[in-house]
Structure 1
Amino acid sequence: MKSWIKARGEGGVPGCSSAFARRSLATRVLGRYRLGESPWGRPAATAPVMPGRNKAASASSLDLPSREQEGDSSRGAKARAPQDESDGEGGDHGPNPGLGDPEIVKSPSDPKQYRYVILQNGLRALLVSDLNNMDGTPSVMSSDGEDEDSEEETDEDDDSGAEIEDDKEGFDDDYDDADECDSDEDLNDPDSDLEELTDKDEVKKRARTEKQSAAALCVGAGSFSDPEDLPGLAHFLEHMVFMGSSKYPDENGFDAFLKKHWGSDNASTDCERTVFQFDVQRKYFKEALDRWAQFFIHPLMIRDAIDREVEAVHSEYQLARPSDSNRREMLFGSLARPGHPMKKFFWGNADTLKHEPKIYKIDTYTRLREFWQRYYSAHYMTLVVQSKETLDTLEKWVTEIFSEIPNNGLDRASFDNLTQPFDTPEFHKLYKVVPIRKIHSMNITWALPPQEHYYRVKPIHYISWLVGHEGKGSVLSLLRKKCWALALYGGNGETGFEQNSTYSVFSISVTLTDDGFKHFYEVAHVVFQYLKMLQKIGPDKRVWEEIQKIEANEFHYEEQTDPVDYVESLCENMQLYPKEDFLTGDQLLFEYEPEVIADALNQLTPQRANLILLSAANEGKCHLKERWFGTQYSVEGNIKYWSDLWASDFVLNEDLHLPEENRYIATDFALKAPDSPETEYPVKTLSTQQGCLWYKKDDKFKIPKAYIRFHLISPLIQQSAENVVLFDTFLNILAHNLAEPAYEADVAQLEYKLVAGEILLGKFLFTPAVFEMIIEQLKKTYFNVLIKAETLAKKLQFLPLVHPCPVQFRVMDLPNIHLLCKVKTLNKGDANSEVTVYYQVECLLWMHMEEPCFDFLRTKQTLGYHVYPTCRNTSGILGFSVTVATQATKYNSELVDKKIEEFLFCFDEKIKTLTEEAFSTQVTALIKLKECEDSHLGEEVNRNWNEVVTQQYLFDRLAREIDALKSLSKADLVNWFQAHRGNEGKVLSVHVVGYGKHEGDAEVPSSSDVHNACSEIPQLTFLSACTLVNITSIKDIKAYTSALNVLPYHKILK
């Protein structure tokens, strides 16, 4: 279990916004720190629950312990080292060859089989066979997978790999830290999830998450190993290994191969680890493994590709700069002792990898190859493969393919001698920071000795649970009553930045109200009072056992997770835990050792803390600047009163105490016998004038879990902009009122969330102070959404609500011309631009388009880090778009628009010459994708719920789409694309333009140097097209759209 607990807030705080006032599990799993993701305080949208897997006899499964058994294990708290090469060799499976490894402890709900092998070159591999069905019985082998060796296909035109970017929201700070809110993106129209099919709806989601086969490899080296004169080299190498291999030299071949068979891949760089993962349809898994393994056997990394890929790394860095969490992380790392790797610049950019090496005559190409030879050694690597194959087959494949990875025989890089990196005078001070967003946030951080080896006790998780609690007696409960705080997070996300071999972070982040900001010292004092109370009473066994029970319940009845995510997590676990704890080490609590907990707890004192206060009110008062991200900050010691108070034996607060016993922890997991015949799809069991009820009995996963969803429809909500804001306010006040009484049930996995349109009726009271607090935070939330270029680009298509009007689902019918709407970004000083070209298409078209789009616009043209096509369903009106995120310091948005058109012209020629065999392969891949079974109950629920919310009720939509695909011809696709691409096509280009020399900005201010007041009403600045021809520019969205025809909402029922 990741030890990051958040107390939820309201009014624009994480998950609470225009569309959502969301509540979910209080225990959050943070995304691992990636170069390209926010490393600090990034909560997942929900805590992943891994779906109901039944017991398989071939491996050990964990039974729920009784109260007497819990915590009484004879095993010590200190972890054993992860299995090393002397622990065993591949192929030795004891008396049960062909079966799983009985030493690997797994959930009783897990039907998969596991085997751990060590290859002769030292690579350690975990084989995962998911041949069994949910009920534990073997599944029938499909004809296309009975004999992979005899059915291998070769693709002469698909010869290697190139890294795919993260999802377009990859490291965006729509969730990027605790104080910034979890998802301003949620302010998007709730129907937007239905519009962007590629990334948010069934097509992209299923493509990325339901692969039958997946693999992940973790290299035990990362950015800590960067040389001092080449910052970012580890991250750059992670990019470069994708650019072709000796066996498959085509630069974009691996990506093309995966896309052809509906696969995906990615990679990420952490402080001490680098992870690569991919998934693909099972029939092509062996060939994909061979292609992928060449990255580690003999990557080309040719000189010609270096400059181009440096631009991709630089674009990634530029996209990360406007993130407050990334900026705070860089500032935090700069406080480490000289010589500690945390002071390094992990991201890398064009200066560190290209320009400065040229000045100092550093051969980046040679150093890159030397870095690969030193750190990409087989004995540092852990591999996980998962497929519907037997364990013996998987072992054969892994042995044949991965034994070729070289072993350099050198000891693994170690940094465990560099402990206490933050025991410096600079660390123990107050830092005031000017943020990008309009937020008030206080972050209190301690750097503890490394805690990874206490994973069986999980002391930080115990402390996090209490600090992040929001029930009676908690820190947040008291701060809410004073209207000082909206949200609170506490703990450690187990990212490389927060936990590594040199230190472990414990951090508390409080999202402050305007009044809370004025009293931030008092807020800090409440936090210190609570910690002192915990230190005084010591660890509490009852609380620890409650946490243990909740985690054990979740593990015992876990739902299956997406294969590609599952293997990624396991390959990192293999670097940290011994074999028997590969599946349990990051989740379960094993031993209650109060002295271990007390040791960590007693270090959380004011004198050892670092305080960072982020607020726009710091503007003009911060005259220092961090080197890499340009963060403006000031440093000051605590004022004398607080320094003296915190150094003394200050008085405790009687309002702060341990939470009461949680009465909501489940104890009865028996499934109820069905009282009606089972049905394949939901059935309507009740219909009245007021509404209807749909019901579906779970006959597939058979886990003790239920979903209940209400869609309460009111025409008043969206009649005007004022009504929308009033409803936002209502939802957020409601979430505020429910937070404390519902918290215990929430953490016991009785989850709820409030979504615009889903209203909990009943007693609704609030104070004027709460109202003002919510209103002020909503202003900040709205503003923080609009300053993001990609969000503004989406919103420009909507007609402003000026006068109240009847609400209907409507879409503007675009004229048969090329329209351009070009505006300046609202975030002054932000260089990032977003260009989207929209055509008013089908999933199959997107399948053909994604890989060549990435190859042309990113790999070859290096226009930006995020490049993607998107299929859109806008209230039943289909379309497609191509989006490029670039920087105004590098390219003019009109040039990017031209390049998109150039790509589409080339793509037109490509599909004309597409062979019938290639077309048939893509159609078959999409059919196979749609035939994939749901991986967990929530996925089935979401698909059926979408039919209810859109009032289409086509629960067998996938089956109908499969039938339609079977009758589709290549000519249909070509004719359709050409019809929508010619002079009669309906095209809308939306440019949100950043600040930079290529957009005519002579002097570009730093993001921290400009003032964006959330109290000001943002005004769009419309720009004219200078170089685009045959374009009609829009200078007034309201005036232009008022003259267009309106298309009614169209239900897709055939």
Structure 2
Amino acid sequence: MSSTKMGTVERIAEDLLKPELDDRSYRVIRLPNKLEALLVHDPDTDKASAAVNVNVGNFSDADDMPGMAHAVEHLLFMGTKKYPLENAYNQYLASNSGMSNAYTAATETNYFFEVAATSHSGDEKPDTPTSPSATQAKGPLHGALDRFAQFFVEPLFLESTLDRELRAVDSENKKNLQSDMWRLMQLNKSLSNPAHPYHHFSTGNLQTLKEDPEKRGLEVRSEFIKFYEAHYSANRMKLVLLGRESLDEMEEWVSDLFSHVQNKDLPQNRWDDVQPWTAEHLGKQIFAKPVMDMRSLDIYFPFMDEEHYYESQPNRYISHLIGHEGPGSILAYIKAKGWANGLSAGPLPICPGAAFFTINVRLTPEGLKNYREVARVIFEYIAMIKEGEPQQWIYDEMKNLAEVEFRFKQKTPASRFASNLSSKMQKPHPREWLLSTGLLRKYDPALIKEALSYLRPDNFRMLIVAQDYPGDWDQKEKWYGTEHKVEDIPQDFMADIRKAYETTSANRLPDLHLPHKNEFVPTRLSVEKKEVSEPAKTPKLIRHDDHVRLWYKKDDRFWVPKGTFNISLRNPLVWATPANVVKARFYCELVRDALNEYAYDAELAGLDYSLGISIFGLDISVGGYNDKMSVLLEKVLTSMRDLVVKPERFSIIKERLTRAYKNAEYQQPYYQVSDYTRYLTAERSWLNEQYASELQHIEVEDVACFFPQILRQNHIEVLAHGNLYKEDALRMTDLVESTLKSRTLPESQWHVRRNVIIPPGSNYIYERTLKDPANVNNGIEYLLYIGDINDAVLRAKLLLFAQMTDEPAFDQLRSKEQLGYVVWSGARYSSTTIGYRVIIQSERVAGYLEHRIENFLSMFQKTLEEMPDSDFERHKRSLINRRLEKLKNLGSETSRFWSHIGSEYFDFVQNEADAANVRSLTKSDLIQFYNQFINPQSTTRGKLSIHLKAQATALASTPQQQKTQLLTRLRTLLEKAQLAVDADRLEAAFAEVEVSSGDERLIVDTMKTVLDGMGLAEQQTKQALDSMASSVGVELKHIGIQPKRFEGQSGQTVNGFGQEAVTYITNVPEYKARLNVSAGPNPVTDISEFEDFDAKL
């Protein structure tokens, strides 16, 4: 116990069960106001974090105001009594290497942030403990925590931000409207019991949160405040705090900052007296039409709530068997029949008191035709499981694997760690077990049998998703518009299901059986730990000849019995043409398909592999527990070498690839836009539509003849990293050579990556119309070319500029201007060049988005020039901390090494070089950088914009609608100039004007007629018309009309030129042919300096 002004702080637990290598200290406390907190002391962390999970979510929304909880989540960020500036919190985090986010779920709302753990930059030595600055000043965590705590003490719900944040919620909802995940989730919810909050529309939109409530006479701000006051209480809050500070100091901070959160002693949110589905919702088959080309069968069983069964977790036994992919499994059988591409199974917790168990099958075209047979096989397998007693050896195997995973669990990013744990604290786990909730502690066969009893024919419904079946959908879901049809499962079909459920071993399909014992369970888990003064920053080349380059590093940092063996088989054929790319991808899919049953056991045992293509050739990776790594590697290599292309599997995978390429063009615009940027900036790159076109003509013999050419001759690049000895690395490399028996590929034939150079003074725009006819969102990537990626000083300037504009761009373009939910800015790295980019997804047309980006960049000139030195230095320190952030686990170091090897610059210490270069930059350096590369008035900057245009749009679609919108906007402009214009007068003046023509002169002249008739002073009229002339083009773009500039109009200058300076790219090969290309990668350090053939590692 410890005492505070507010009362006694109760210490709940300190001896938390933790992983073997966890060097953190933990303490769980409860404040006098019943807020519970987990304090985590990590002496070495460079990122501190906090998260608060509140036991209230969208299930608590008012029935007639869906989205309330989500809206409140947004509004809490917008200023508090102690820190009233709406972006004070995010500004503070941005200047201290931080970030924040939040999410709203069914019964919880989770807020979290991370920030630099210390106030000094990563390459500086901290103050000594005896120095005044060390004893008096508190680090960035305290400042962030103070601002964060005020969300729960006294938020302002600022009136000035209300409309903007509700529009942000609306934009977030519109982002999801064409997402099948969201559409199908809401369909299930909408087709549920209206008396249960599962029925709610969770996100909310402008209609539900503003327009409809206001029509009912509600003052929406008051409603949100009432929701907050009714549901936010200290006893419903769980806090996790991670930092370098001692547990005692953190306890003092939490007590000081969070004891003021009001405790209303609210009960836990539960809905025990009602279920999401009643009898009338079961026994149904629901057919739904997706946006993407996909086919699936989902079976849903109302299931037991396992909240209090945390020791035995019976669902895991059932999920393991039904979701198994090895021999004897459901998937193995239906895949052999050609009916399925994949299967998954597991629980879906809904809320305390309710859950589902779901089985998802990804169907082939034949599987769709036979979905009844697929369902029958599933119920026959369930019958097999329930027929006998649960098998303890299966449970013990799962228990053993869970213990191994927990024992060697590595650190995760700070904010993810805090957010996840704060959510777990809402569950009734013993606090000593908070870190180990994945362990299986108790074998309870009776409980497994009880859980199995929920999986029966009178307790399920099914969802069949396909674009072309049955075709007669007769309903549309209210919130997302998903076409669907609901009907009772036909009697003959239900009879087949009951029959399957009642089968015995005598008449069951002989191909179905329980899995065999997993031979990949790791047994050798020792790690030879040798202390080093400092971990090695680079791998070494322990073999380097014409055929093989083997990079190696034995782990000296994380000490886990894991490793990774990455291979790149370099062959220029793979990336020579779009057809070759498709054939290579086809080959990889066929190999993975052939290996699926074998490799599944390895995956369960923490050992995985991947096989894919890159611009260099084929990439293979085997990683996980190193005990049986070479066994899996050998199987992968022999499967690659000996692949037989079977026509029946070829057809299934061809159909799958066809859908994949098609669906890629139905992704959200902000996903797609980067593909187009890559297409326009890489010397050799293609689009999904080009791959799809080639795929149509590829047959079995094409793939069968192609892959031996790749394997026959190549250069082998290898990275062996982790708990591996030098001999292990050399032996596995020999295995690659001896298995594939390839010839050496001369270096002169290696593919060289290069990028086109966007020349100074250029202003390119590339426009594409999105394929999805129902997507209302447009997208833009606005890219400014900066220069050579290997220019370390230029790279540092770009990174610092990106750091300085990150929060202001988001605040201006998203928060204030509400252009869209997706707004992102930052550095863009290509193979050999770097640039600065802004990405926005919005209902507004791309031309208008471009104008607003230009406006932001123009405004930032003043921000930069007037930036106080202290703010400039804070930005530098924040960036340095980011570049020097510690690696969290072995996999992150492997990824870093492999990325630098693949770049061919071999710049393994790039982050440290960046930090050093940033430290020496001055504000004048950044002003010069801005004027040369960023300033819209610059004649030396090069710009490329990609505009993705929606077919469907929320903007006006008819000339009359466009006119109405424009007149509304013109009236707003005049009102800002304190000129009130009668709406009828305005409409009468524009009655015969064709606004949709975009004729700016005609619009301004018509406005002059209106103003002349108002009897205004001549100077007042002139000022209003001058303002109108400079703004009307932007207003036309805003409603989707391309303006026509009139003669003599100066307008906005872009890149030193007028509007006519824009070059629209209509022929990409021709555009690329006109531009210079960069040099290929040149190693930062001579590769021979990494050679260490005799190292005793």
Q: TM-score, normalised on structure 1?
A: 0.79
2:582 matches 1:722: no
Is the Cα contact below 8 Å between 1:258 and 1:280 reproduced in 2?
Answer: yes
SS in 2 for 1:606: coil
| Rounded Cα–Cα distance in structure 1 between residues aligned with 2:193 and 2:478 | 17
Change (3 A) 1:454 1:998: closer
**1:541 corresponds to which of 389, 392, 404:** 392
| Rounded Cα–Cα distance in structure 2 between residues aligned with 1:786 and 1:239 | 31
For 2:517, the equivalent position in structure 1 comes to 661
SS in 1 for 2:563: coil
2:657 matches 1:778: yes
Once the two structures are superposed, what CA deviation does each residue of 1:70-126 show, in whole Å capped at 9, x if it has no partner? xxxxxxxxxxxxx9x9xx9965559xxxxx712x22223211111111111110111
Change (3 A) 1:461 1:1001: farther
Cα deviation, residue 1000, structure 1: 6.3
2:282 matches 1:427: yes
Cα deviation, residue 918, structure 1: 1.4
| Rounded Cα–Cα distance in structure 2 between residues aligned with 1:782 and 1:744 | 30
2:796 matches 1:884: no
**2:153 corresponds to which of 257, 276, 297:** 297
Cα deviation, residue 256, structure 1: 0.7
2:62 matches 1:227: yes
2:216 matches 1:337: no
For 2:262, the equivalent position in structure 1 comes to 406
Cα deviation, residue 565, structure 1: 0.7
SS in 2 for 1:879: strand
Change (3 A) 1:304 1:112: same
**2:210 corresponds to which of 354, 359, 379:** 354
| Rounded Cα–Cα distance in structure 1 between residues aligned with 2:256 and 2:58 | 30
2:773 matches 1:828: yes
| Rounded Cα–Cα distance in structure 1 between residues aligned with 2:955 and 2:1062 | 18
For 1:366, the equivalent position in structure 2 comes to 222
Structure 2 residue runs of 5 or longer lacking an equivalent are 118-138, 621-636, 695-748, 787-797, 960-1039, 1045-1058, 1086-1097
**Paired residues for 1:603-752 under 5 Å:** 603-618=454-469, 620-648=471-499, 649-650=502-503, 651-672=507-528, 679-752=536-609
| Rounded Cα–Cα distance in structure 2 between residues aligned with 1:113 and 1:672 | 25
For 2:972, the equivalent position in structure 1 comes to none
Once the two structures are superposed, what CA deviation does each residue of 1:669-708 show, in whole Å capped at 9, x if it has no partner? 1114779998442111001101211111111111111111
| Rounded Cα–Cα distance in structure 1 between residues aligned with 2:24 and 2:198 | 39
User: Which letter maps to 1:331?
Assistant: L
**Paired residues for 1:531-570 under 5 Å:** 531-570=382-421
SS in 1 for 2:50: strand
SS in 2 for 1:230: coil
Q: Compare 258-267 and 402-411 and name the one that shifted more.
A: 402-411
2:258 matches 1:378: no
Is the Cα contact below 8 Å between 2:96 and 2:116 reproduced in 1?
Answer: yes
Cα deviation, residue 584, structure 1: 4.2
Once the two structures are superposed, what CA deviation does each residue of 1:904-947 show, in whole Å capped at 9, x if it has no partner? 11112211111222111111222223333211111111111111
**1:923 corresponds to which of 849, 861, 876:** 876
Once the two structures are superposed, what CA deviation does each residue of 1:564-591 show, in whole Å capped at 9, x if it has no partner? 1111111111110334354245311111
2:975 matches 1:1031: no
| Rounded Cα–Cα distance in structure 2 between residues aligned with 1:856 and 1:929 | 23
User: Which letter maps to 2:802?
Assistant: W
2:824 matches 1:793: no
Cα deviation, residue 963, structure 1: 1.9
Change (3 A) 1:432 1:93: closer
Cα deviation, residue 211, structure 1: 4.8
For 2:339, the equivalent position in structure 1 comes to 484
Cα deviation, residue 1045, structure 1: 2.2
Once the two structures are superposed, what CA deviation does each residue of 1:776-834 show, in whole Å capped at 9, x if it has no partner? 00010011111222233222231666899995422122232211112211111111111
SS in 1 for 2:657: helix
User: Which letter maps to 1:690?
Assistant: H
Once the two structures are superposed, what CA deviation does each residue of 1:623-652 show, in whole Å capped at 9, x if it has no partner? 211000000001222333322222333442
| Rounded Cα–Cα distance in structure 2 between residues aligned with 1:948 and 1:120 | 55
**1:109 corresponds to which of 21, 27, 39:** 21
User: Which letter maps to 2:755?
Assistant: V
Considering only CA atoms, is the larger Rg found in Structure 1 or Structure 2?
A: 2
User: Which letter maps to 1:995?
Assistant: Q
2:87 matches 1:252: yes
SS in 2 for 1:511: strand
Cα deviation, residue 1030, structure 1: 3.7
Structure 1 residue runs of 5 or longer lacking an equivalent are 1-82, 95-99, 134-209, 1004-1022
- Asked which structure has the greater RCO (Cα within 8 Å, sep 6+), the reply is 1
Q: Compare 604-613 and 375-384 and name the one that shifted more.
A: 604-613
For 1:154, the equivalent position in structure 2 comes to none
Cα deviation, residue 1037, structure 1: 2.4
For 2:122, the equivalent position in structure 1 comes to none
Is the Cα contact below 8 Å between 1:473 and 1:658 reproduced in 2?
Answer: yes
SS in 1 for 2:641: coil
Change (3 A) 1:312 1:927: same
| Rounded Cα–Cα distance in structure 1 between residues aligned with 2:1042 and 2:757 | 23
**Paired residues for 1:93-492 under 5 Å:** 101-102=14-15, 104-131=16-43, 211-282=46-117, 283-418=139-274, 420-492=275-347
| Rounded Cα–Cα distance in structure 1 between residues aligned with 2:279 and 2:432 | 36
| Rounded Cα–Cα distance in structure 2 between residues aligned with 1:814 and 1:676 | 47
Is the Cα contact below 8 Å between 2:9 and 2:31 reproduced in 1?
Answer: no
Change (3 A) 1:919 1:628: same
The CA RMSD over aligned residues, in Å, is 2.5
2:709 matches 1:848: no
| Rounded Cα–Cα distance in structure 1 between residues aligned with 2:560 and 2:931 | 49
| Rounded Cα–Cα distance in structure 2 between residues aligned with 1:444 and 1:581 | 36
Is the Cα contact below 8 Å between 1:445 and 1:611 reproduced in 2?
Answer: yes
**2:434 corresponds to which of 583, 591, 594:** 583
| Rounded Cα–Cα distance in structure 2 between residues aligned with 1:1045 and 1:795 | 21
Is the Cα contact below 8 Å between 1:212 and 1:280 reproduced in 2?
Answer: yes
Change (3 A) 1:499 1:387: same
For 1:869, the equivalent position in structure 2 comes to 825
Change (3 A) 1:820 1:619: farther
Is the Cα contact below 8 Å between 1:492 and 1:499 reproduced in 2?
Answer: no
Is the Cα contact below 8 Å between 2:270 and 2:353 reproduced in 1?
Answer: no
Cα deviation, residue 438, structure 1: 0.4
Higher share in helix: 2
| Rounded Cα–Cα distance in structure 1 between residues aligned with 2:302 and 2:514 | 24
For 1:164, the equivalent position in structure 2 comes to none
Is the Cα contact below 8 Å between 1:864 and 1:885 reproduced in 2?
Answer: yes
| Rounded Cα–Cα distance in structure 2 between residues aligned with 1:695 and 1:553 | 26
Once the two structures are superposed, what CA deviation does each residue of 1:253-293 show, in whole Å capped at 9, x if it has no partner? 11111001110000111111110000001230001100111
Once the two structures are superposed, what CA deviation does each residue of 1:128-176 show, in whole Å capped at 9, x if it has no partner? 1112x6xxxxxxxxxxxxxxxxxxxxxxxxxxxxxxxxxxxxxxxxxxx
Is the Cα contact below 8 Å between 2:235 and 2:266 reproduced in 1?
Answer: no
Change (3 A) 1:763 1:89: farther
The number of aligned residues is 859
Cα deviation, residue 250, structure 1: 0.3
For 1:939, the equivalent position in structure 2 comes to 892
2:642 matches 1:763: yes
**Paired residues for 1:511-522 under 5 Å:** 511-522=362-373
| Rounded Cα–Cα distance in structure 2 between residues aligned with 1:681 and 1:248 | 45
Change (3 A) 1:676 1:961: closer
| Rounded Cα–Cα distance in structure 1 between residues aligned with 2:357 and 2:801 | 48
| Rounded Cα–Cα distance in structure 1 between residues aligned with 2:154 and 2:854 | 36
| Rounded Cα–Cα distance in structure 2 between residues aligned with 1:1046 and 1:391 | 56
SS in 2 for 1:613: strand
Q: Compare 386-395 and 456-465 and name the one that shifted more.
A: 456-465
Is the Cα contact below 8 Å between 1:452 and 1:499 reproduced in 2?
Answer: no
2:848 matches 1:895: yes
